[in-house]
Amino acid sequence: MTEAPLRLTELSHGGGCGCKIAPAALAEMLAHMPAAQPFANLLVGTETADDAAVWKLNDQQALIATTDFFMPIVDDPFDFGRIAATNALSDVYAMGGTPIMALAIVGMPVGKLPLSAIGRILEGGASVCAEAGIPVAGGHSIDSPEPIYGLVALGLAHPDVIKRNRDAKDGDVLILGKPLGVGILGSAMKKGVLDADGYAQMLAATTRLNKVGPALAVLPGVHALTDVTGFGLLGHLLEICRGAGLAAKVSAARLPVMPAAVGFAKQGIGPGAIGRNLASYGLSVNFEEGVEEWQRSVMADAQTSGGLMVACDPASADEVLEVFRQGGFTDATVIGRMEAGLPKVHVSA
């Protein structure tokens, strides 16, 4: 009898950044956390929902620290490891930093998953770290009911180039570096309707390191930088709005979307995180007449290892786009702007 092929996604109830707790639930969970004590060297903590914590080491160096892990979004163990590692390192790049090392976070159902498959997951993660020029210097593992993999990622940057959500300015244009639709394609794969071309589109996006982060951060016109992951484009843009005390306007027609994801979105295929995200945005997101249902889904779709989103002076937009394109991000697009107003996102058709 032929052994059935291994399907990692069947071992978990969710996958990728779609595993994130919804923004509204997370806010409720954290509502009664005691106020953080002031530390002079803590440049970035939890106050503005930034991508990583930052600690000033000296006048020339700041340490960036972050962690990210999740359950499989794909069935291939090596690809899962690559995607998870790329996603974890992205938070360092999103702060304007350069990774220096990583630690592996490993939770695996040892009795259900062959040790060889677990080894391939770790190899996939290590291959991405090698591409980033850093070691996997250690980690921690547990026997877990569902497969979990990710990294603790550490990086360095000059304290003056750290990019925070709160630093976006009225009039800034918004530029997105990668196309949307990762969660939608992941759902199509789990349903068995994603073809090889669609899988290739998803893999190309999720395994491309956001290495352009440091080059973007040093541009004088770049004010804020984040990456788009589990809360969807709208959720992470709302974090910028709230941090900066500004509104944002986005054009649905200008959003880059992976071609394979469009058809599935129109069929209503997508992760449960889309509904959770939309419910969490509440009145903080206003869809104008003409924005189609599938476009709303794409903007709320949980991205795994998504693109960098830049808020920059309009005069710097061409320079930012050129940095993206020189780094291989050919889908980089101006999608909207920041403007004065209550912290909300207005979506036009």
- Straight-line distance from the first to the last Cα atom of the chain, in angstroms, rounded to the nearest whole number: 54
Residue numbers in the known binding site for ATP are 20, 48-50, 68, 91, 139-141
Mark residue 235 as left, alpha or beta (left: phi above 0; alpha: psi -120 to 50; beta: remaining). Answer: alpha
Q: What is the mean pLDDT of residues 317-334?
A: 97
Q: In the prediction, which pLDDT does 49 show?
A: 82
Q: What is the mean pLDDT of residues 241-262?
A: 97
Pick from 19-23, 148-152, 166-170: least confident: 19-23
Dihedral sign computed on CA atoms, order 114, 118, 119, 123 = positive
Q: Is 17 a catalytic residue?
A: yes
Q: In the prediction, which pLDDT does 28 show?
A: 74
d(CA 335, CA 180): 12
Q: In the prediction, which pLDDT does 7 show?
A: 78
Please say if the pLDDT value at position 19 is more than 80.
no
Split at pLDDT 50, 70, 90, the class of 1 is very low
Dihedral sign computed on CA atoms, order 74, 274, 45, 222 = positive
Please say if the pLDDT value at position 2 is more than 60.
no
d(CA 16, CA 272): 12
| Contacts (Cβ under 8 Å, ≥6 apart) of 322 | none
d(CA 189, CA 195): 8
Q: In the prediction, which pLDDT does 47 show?
A: 80
pLDDT digit string, tens, across residues 48-98? 788 899 999 999 999 999 999 989 999 999 999 999 999 999 999 999 999
In contact, 186 and 18? CB cutoff 8 Å: yes
Q: What is the mean pLDDT of residues 182-197?
A: 94
> Which residue in 17, 19, 241, 312 is the catalytic one?
17
**Which ranges in the chain are annotated with CATH 3.30.1330.10?**
8-157
Helix (H, G, I), strand (E, B) or coil at 70: strand
In contact, 345 and 247? CB cutoff 8 Å: yes
Q: What order do you get walking across the sheet with 98-108 strand by strand?
A: 42-44, 53-56, 62-70, 148-157, 98-108, 136-143
Q: What is the mean pLDDT of residues 15-41?
A: 68
Helix (H, G, I), strand (E, B) or coil at 47: coil
Q: In the prediction, which pLDDT does 10 show?
A: 75
Please say if the pLDDT value at position 21 is more than 80.
no
Q: What is the mean pLDDT of residues 107-118?
A: 93
In contact, 344 and 288? CB cutoff 8 Å: no
Split at pLDDT 50, 70, 90, the class of 6 is confident
Name the helix (H) or strand (E) containing 138: strand 136-143
Name the CATH topology of 172-347. Answer: Phosphoribosyl-aminoimidazole Synthetase; Chain A, domain 2 (3.90.650)
Helix (H, G, I), strand (E, B) or coil at 188: helix
What is the C-alpha radius of gyration for the chain, rounded to an integer number of angstroms? 19
> How far out from the chain centre does Cα 304 lie?
6
**Phi and psi for 70 in degrees, rounded to 5?**
-165, 180
Split at pLDDT 50, 70, 90, the class of 3 is very low
List, in sequence order, every residue forming a beta bridge with 175; answer none if it has no partner.
310, 334
d(CA 205, CA 23): 24
Q: What is the mean pLDDT of residues 293-306?
A: 96
In contact, 305 and 229? CB cutoff 8 Å: yes
Domain 8-157 classification at class level? alpha beta
- 212-235 burial, b at 16+ Cβ within 10 Å, e below that, comes to bbbbbbebebbbbbbbbbbbbbbb
Please say if the pLDDT value at position 13 is more than 60.
yes
Residue numbers in the known binding site for Mg(2+) are 51, 91, 227
Split at pLDDT 50, 70, 90, the class of 310 is very high
Q: What is the pTM of this model?
A: 0.91
Beta strands in 210-322 (DSSP E): 222-227, 247-251, 285-287, 308-312
- CA torsion, ordered 262, 266, 267, 270, to nearest 10 deg: 60
Name the helix (H) or strand (E) containing 69: strand 62-70
pLDDT digit string, tens, across residues 123-143? 999 999 999 999 999 999 999
Residue numbers in the known binding site are 20, 48-51, 68, 91, 139-141, 227
**Which ranges in the chain are annotated with CATH 3.90.650.10?**
172-347
Beta strands in 253-302 (DSSP E): 285-287
In contact, 331 and 178? CB cutoff 8 Å: yes
Among 67, 158, 93, 48, which Cα is nearest to 308's? 93
